Amino acid sequence: MAPLRKPLQGLWNVVRFNWHFYAIAMVLAGCLAFAWLVAPPVARPYVIVALVCLMLPIVASLAASTYVYDYSNLYRLNWLPSAWPANSKILTVSAGFDEISSALLRKYSPLALLAVDFYDPARHTEVSIKRARRAYAPFPGTQQVDTRGALPAPDDSMDLVFAFLSAHEIRDAAERAAFFRELKRVTKPAGSIIVTEHLRDPANFLAYSVGFMHFHSRRAWHATCRDAGLQVQQEIKITPLVTAFILCKNGSAA
């Protein structure tokens, strides 16, 4: 069976979806290199410091992305149970770029897999998501949803709900909690909701500098779960930079 991901696909995706940032950085680096050539010797150490301050966060973020998206266990899914109940039903939630539905389909061969996408170009204006959508076709049968509306699934119908690196795009805390209540509605009493996310924590700050502000803190995720009536049953550190929250309905077992 052919692998789902190509070598260094994660790094390549990061660069091509965000190429404008790297282009600007390269132009600035070129300007600093030229400044070093023409600057008097006494000023050259300051130019070097400026160049290091510019390039170090870029190199760190690319190295971190390569590790997380190409060399860690994130996409191998071996941190998940090796098997799921027969005839299980799975719901995947994405925000413009679905990297998990095919992997889950291959790992579990569920009775049914419903993929939903809450990306709204009017509200989610990041150019990187638009580029990702042009580069990759959606998972077959993906349904468009609104985080402020109902999901296209009956109550207590899903064994596993999986929000993979997507729920952080719901920036408003109240809206996020309401959406998680909807996830709870469609999950079976003994089912699980699995949320994988980068966190706004020291490790992600070291890796992504100010970019870590795009993520939510561990406290914020726990607040979302509490407000939605969900229980954090387990936390898994897939890598130092990515955490999986295993959620269940209050009073139920996963």
Q: Which two tokens stand for residue 123?
A: 């509200």
pLDDT at residue 84 in the model = 77
pLDDT at residue 162 in the model = 97
pTM, rounded to two decimals: 0.91
CA 225, 226, 228, 229 dihedral sign is positive
Range of the domain at 245: 89-249
Q: Residues 66, 101: one domain?
A: no
CA distance 171 to 124: 10
CA distance 162 to 187: 11
Query: What is the mean pLDDT, run by run of 10 residues, along the chain of 254 residues?
Result: 79 95 96 95 96 96 97 93 84 95 92 95 82 92 96 96 96 96 96 97 96 96 97 96 94 44
Q: Residues 59, 130: one domain?
A: no
Q: Residues 117, 160: one domain?
A: yes
Q: Residues 108, 219: one domain?
A: yes
Amino acid residing at 46: Y
Q: Domain holding 123: CATH number?
A: 3.40.50.150
Q: Residues 109, 233: one domain?
A: yes
Q: Residues 19, 126: one domain?
A: no
Q: b/e string for 88-111 if b means 16 or more Cβ within 10 A?
A: bbbbbbbbbbbbbbbbbbebbebe
- The number of distinct structural domains making up the chain is 2
CB atoms within 10 A of CB 61: 21
pLDDT at residue 30 in the model = 96
